[in-house]
Amino acid sequence: MERMKTMQGIRTRRVLMRRMFVRIACYTILFILLVAAARLLVGDALSAFIADVTAPWVDVPEATADYMRLFGNQFQEGMRVNGVATFRDLTDYHFVVGIIKGPVIWSAYIIGLVIVLSVSCVDAAAIVDQLTHAIERMAEGDDASKLSDELSSVQRELELLGEREKLQVRAAQAAESRKNELVAYLAHDIKTPLTSIVGYLALLAENPDLPLEARGRYAHNALDKARSLDGMMDEFFEITRYNLSAIPIERELIDTRLFVEQVADELFVQARDRNVELVVDAPEGIEAFIDPKKMARALSNIIRNGIAFAREGSEVLCKVVRDGDGIVFTVTDTGKEIAPAHLERIFERFYREESARGVGGAGLGLAIAREIVEAHGGTVRAQSAGGVTTLTIRVPAEG
């Protein structure tokens, strides 16, 4: 909502500034036209009136008439009366006309300009009130109120931002609801393996004379249930970690071959349990400037996904190549195909569409992987066709 207020504030300022400049330009042109019209219509009459008031006619002897004629800009010659020349001194007339052409006209222009700016300020206050009211309504979850016609562009932006905000709120609510459901499901499901573990251990403790075969079977069953419980706890931790603050990235230059081999080694037992072979294809000499711990978590999540859904007896191929100014990690498995409709959604948090790749997990592994990759300035995408699924990570070779 704060971002919305900032964006609309910028747009509103632009609208107000544009309206103010248009008004000033229109007022200036109108003022010039009015001054020009006044000069054409009443200029001569006004000049004559001012001259009559400020410069009375005076009889001048013929001896000085020639002298006054030399200063025609200051003295005006009139008609002869009884053969005597008449003149009038225009000094006061020019002074009054200068005042009218200068301070009076400019003062009138400035007063009008102040009035125009005052009207603009009043309009601006009304527009800001409209916008504030509209944003407050949106903050309360209502639709934005109707703005005036001059704010039609802002109105459209508000409507688009309102829809986007509602979508984000609904997505956040859906994710929170899904998370709560997962926590509830996991909390309920934890009771089953925990009850079994307690039961098998109680049998072993209460019957020390059980045959070795029975003791081994009970111990094996308890171990299986403990592993199941361990997996559920991992899901709890994934959900908790996802809600922490932004992922901090601390890069360093690493050898990609050694990096991928170490990640694959950590998942060897999981691959063996599913009868899946992990294969690493990483040439020597390729280095990447990444956070090894964070990127190992991202790559591990993707490889786990491949192991979980690969066909038994198949292989999961982990490959590294340099492509221009980027390093590309790919994880390919052969198993159940991902429908095109689910290819992008598998990276959404808490997304566990059963028709996509089966069930299991909190639906966070790939979402976390994407966040880590994007924090490195990279991208992650998925392709699936003919039962072959490839997840590709691309990160800059250098920071």
What per-residue confidence (pLDDT) applies to 394?
A: 95
Beta partners for 120?
A: none
Q: How far apart are the first and last CA of the chain?
A: 33
Q: How far apart are CA 335 and CA 387, in angstroms?
A: 5
Q: Which of 296, 295, 265, 4 is nearest to 131 (CA)?
A: 4
The DSSP call for residue 250 is -
- The dihedral sign for the CA sequence 210, 212, 215, 218: negative
Q: Tell me the Ramachandran region of residue 395: left when phi exceeds 0, alpha when psi lies from -120 to 50, beta otherwise.
A: beta
What per-residue confidence (pLDDT) applies to 356?
A: 43
Q: How far apart are CA 390 and CA 338, in angstroms?
A: 10
Q: How far apart are CA 185 and CA 172, in angstroms?
A: 20
The DSSP call for residue 100 is I
Tens digit of pLDDT at every position of the chain (399 positions): 455 455 555 566 676 777 788 888 898 999 899 988 888 888 788 888 887 888 888 777 766 776 667 766 667 666 665 667 777 877 788 788 888 888 888 888 899 888 988 888 887 777 777 767 666 666 666 665 566 555 666 666 666 776 777 777 777 777 677 666 656 655 655 666 777 788 888 888 888 888 888 888 888 888 887 877 777 677 666 656 555 445 678 899 999 999 999 999 888 878 888 899 999 999 999 999 999 988 988 898 899 889 988 999 999 999 999 988 899 999 999 988 888 877 777 877 655 554 444 434 545 678 878 888 988 999 999 999 888 999 999 999 875
What per-residue confidence (pLDDT) applies to 9?
A: 56
What per-residue confidence (pLDDT) applies to 85?
A: 79
What per-residue confidence (pLDDT) applies to 329?
A: 96
> DSSP letters of 120-159?
HHHHHHHHHHHHHHHHHHHHTTSPPPPPPGGGHHHHHHHH
Q: How far apart are CA 103 and CA 211, in angstroms?
A: 118
Please classify residue 129 by burial: count the beta carbons closer than 10 Å to its beta carbon, then call 0-12 exposed, 13-18 middle and 19+ buried.
exposed
Q: Which of 328, 367, 19, 352 is nearest to 181 (CA)?
A: 352
What per-residue confidence (pLDDT) applies to 389?
A: 92
What per-residue confidence (pLDDT) applies to 354?
A: 46
Q: Tell me the Ramachandran region of residue 233: left when phi exceeds 0, alpha when psi lies from -120 to 50, beta otherwise.
A: alpha
